[in-house]
Amino acid sequence: MKELDLDKLDQEIRRTLIEFGFEGEFKPFAFYDRYNPLGSNIVVQTADCSICEHEVDPILTLFERNHIEEGQARFVGFRIEGAYSFERDEFMPDNKLSVSLILSAISLGASPKTKGAIREVCLPIIEDFKLDKVGIPA
């Protein structure tokens, strides 16, 4: 297993966010993280806050807000591991990855826990924040 250098990872994430135009004030985002040393991911996050990661299964991880104030959502994003395996035409209308199509594919044959996380957390997030399409970096 590779050792994770958090400073280097932070720099890579910041560089990727700048590359996709996410500078200044936080905005909800979905991006393809091809530069992660642990493998490619699709990352969706809707709040600038500290989070706790909950692995639902080896492919899907939910992001839970650490400090919830009244009116705030408990879950603020998710990560899909192995994004490279979805770089196929059926998941890429308009040459961008469709997060909803990927989540639908993941749910096929998945455990009830995974299906529930997709239905109750992931799909509402991408619908509410209009984060379904993800560009693939060169």
Is residue 121 within 8 Å of residue 113, measured between CB atoms? no
b/e 41-56 (16+ beta carbons within 10 angstroms → b): bbbbbbeebebeeeeb
pLDDT digits (tens, 9 = 90+) for 3-15: 667 777 777 777 7
How many residues are listed for the chain in this entry? 138
Would the pLDDT of 1 be above 60? Answer: no
pTM reported for the whole predicted model: 0.81
How much is the pLDDT for 38? 75
61 forms beta bridges with 55, 79
| 64, part of any domain | yes
| 88, part of any domain | yes
| 94, part of any domain | yes
| 12, part of any domain | no
| 56, part of any domain | yes
Strand 51-55, strand 75-81: pairing: unpaired
Structural domain span for residue 50: 26-134
How much is the pLDDT for 10? 74
Return d(Cα 44, Cα 41) in angstroms, integer: 10
pLDDT digits (tens, 9 = 90+) for 57-88: 999 999 999 999 999 999 999 999 998 889 88
| 14, part of any domain | no
How many structural domains comprise the chain? 1
Average pLDDT of the segment spanning 79-99? 91
Average pLDDT of the segment spanning 7-35? 79
Those residues with Cβ within 8 angstroms of residue 18's Cβ, 6 or more apart along the chain or in another chain: none
| 85, part of any domain | yes
How much is the pLDDT for 26? 85
Confidence of residue 95 (pLDDT cuts 50, 70, 90): confident
pLDDT digits (tens, 9 = 90+) for 45-60: 999 999 999 999 999 9
Q: Residue 111 is encoded by which pair of tokens?
A: 């455990």
Return d(Cα 15, Cα 97) in angstroms, integer: 21
| 19, part of any domain | no
Per DSSP, helices labelled H in 1-138 are: 6-19, 99-107, 112-117, 123-128
